[in-house]
Amino acid sequence: MRTVDLRSDTVTRPTSEMREAMARAQVGDDVYGEDPTVKRLEEAAAELAGKEAALFVPSGTMGNQVAVLTHTSRGNEIIVDSEAHIYYYEVGAPAVLSAVQVRPVVGLHGSEAIALFKSAVRGQDIHFPQTSLLCLENTHNRMGGTVTGTDVMQGLYGAAQELGVAVHLDGARIGNAAVALGCRISALTQWCDSVMFCLSKGLGAPVGSMLAGSSDFIARARKYRKMLGGGMRQSGILAAAGLIALRSVNRLAEDHANARLLAEKLAVVPGIKIDLDRVQTNIVVADIADTGMTAGEYVEVLRARGVLAVVFGPTTVRFVTHLDVSREDVEYAAEMVMAS
């Protein structure tokens, strides 16, 4: 039976161009700073993000957590959106690894962003922890792949700088945000001190993410990466695929068009509700409460028809378009959902 895997853009497999580049890659021991391909990748990523330096890390989660470690001290408080990946999906890592307290704020990326952020920053009081970091997420996964514009990013960064709070951007899908806005990645990342972005999502690389920031920040982050066991040896094999991923950002427009197509088709299926305003990039979140099924049951019904999606909430299901899903696959998936 035909299967269309819409669980995540993490399921993409490396292209044949990537596999060939991986086979040919020049490598060395990167912990000794001797892998030329990793160095090229780190330089290219820094340039793309408009930062002085970048670090190749095994995963987005490690990139975010290395950033939290580097920006904070034990006992600090960090401000995040209440649906942020760093808070929701990283196994409580800020508490364990950085020993910081997370202050989740509802609607941090919305129209009240700056006021919400300012009121969450702690003042001077002997009882309070020190707020040292604001974490943003663009695109925002759990909001449905929504894009935060440059104006909001700029406003938040300005407010954070005034209050002495550093800004880290979880830009796992920053390429999607830039493509949706029709701007360069650096037009967004200029409004943060550090940014993590993934090579292994819609860009198709098998493994790896980048953390970018000032040279001093990346030098300190490199030690934390080592501490967490993320010092890799002949990782040029992976970096070779990453270099191709970095050149492929414009292809994400295809995923956005496919997500829009899927969303429009699913929005008219009885029992399914979709907020089309939130379908801005490659993620489609469907509310299936009116089917009378739980999200878990619904995902199983879809699986039996060859459509893979993930449970996103008690009655919400997420579909993600990516490199390995064509327009025709999306049309087929929509038909299978309609028949469910």
Q: Which stretch binds ligand TLP (CB under 6 A): 14-22, 55-63, 238-246, 330-338?
A: 55-63
- Minimal distance, residue 57 CB to ligand TLP, in Å: 9
Binding test (CB under 6 A) with ligand TLP, winner from 15, 59, 101, 190: 59
Q: In 3D, which of 61, 184, 52, 191 has the Cα closest to residue 117? A: 191
Please provide the DSSP assignment of 203-218 as one string: T--SS-EEEEE-HHHH
Binding test (CB under 6 A) with ligand TLP, winner from 60, 204, 213, 236: 60
141 binding ligand TLP? (CB under 6 A) = yes
209 binding ligand TLP? (CB under 6 A) = yes
- Minimal distance, residue 7 CB to ligand TLP, in Å: 7
- Contact status, residue 272 vs residue 288, Cβ threshold 8 Å: yes
- Contact status, residue 93 vs residue 65, Cβ threshold 8 Å: yes
Q: What is the DSSP letter of 129?
A: P
Looking only at the bridges linking them, the beta strands covering 283-287 and 316-320 are: antiparallel
Size of the site for ligand TLP (CB under 6 A): 14
Sheet containing 310-313, strands listed edge to edge, beginning at the edge strand earlier in sequence = 273-274, 283-287, 316-320, 310-313
Q: Which stretch binds ligand TLP (CB under 6 A): 60-68, 151-159, 221-229, 258-266?
A: 60-68
**Where in 10-29 is the site for ligand TLP (CB under 6 A)?**
10
- Minimal distance, residue 97 CB to ligand TLP, in Å: 14
Binding mask of the shown chain, residues 162 to 181, with x at each position contacting ligand TLP by CB under 6 A: --------x-x---------
CA 85 vs CA 114, 138, 323, 326: distances in Å:
20, 11, 22, 27
The most distant pair of C-alpha atoms in the chain lies apart, rounded to whole Å, by: 63
45 binding ligand TLP? (CB under 6 A) = no
Binding test (CB under 6 A) with ligand TLP, winner from 6, 8, 178, 237: 8
**Where in 185-204 is the site for ligand TLP (CB under 6 A)?**
198
| Residue 248 structure tokens | 């492929």
- Minimal distance, residue 162 CB to ligand TLP, in Å: 27
132 binding ligand TLP? (CB under 6 A) = no
Nearer to ligand TLP, 141 or 291 (CB): 141
Sign for the pseudo-dihedral over CA of 160, 61, 278, 184: positive
With vertex at residue 87, the alpha carbon angle to CA 84 and CA 91, rounded to the nearest 5 degrees, is: 135
| H/E segment holding residue 329 | helix 327-338
**Where in 255-294 is the site for ligand TLP (CB under 6 A)?**
none
- Minimal distance, residue 127 CB to ligand TLP, in Å: 32
85 binding ligand TLP? (CB under 6 A) = yes
CA 130 vs CA 3, 78, 88, 125: distances in Å:
50, 9, 22, 9
Binding test (CB under 6 A) with ligand TLP, winner from 35, 77, 137, 329: 137
Binding test (CB under 6 A) with ligand TLP, winner from 19, 31, 39, 89: 89
- Contact status, residue 203 vs residue 14, Cβ threshold 8 Å: no
235 binding ligand TLP? (CB under 6 A) = no
Residues that bind ligand TLP (CB under 6 A): 8, 10, 59-61, 64, 85, 89, 137, 141, 170, 172, 198, 209
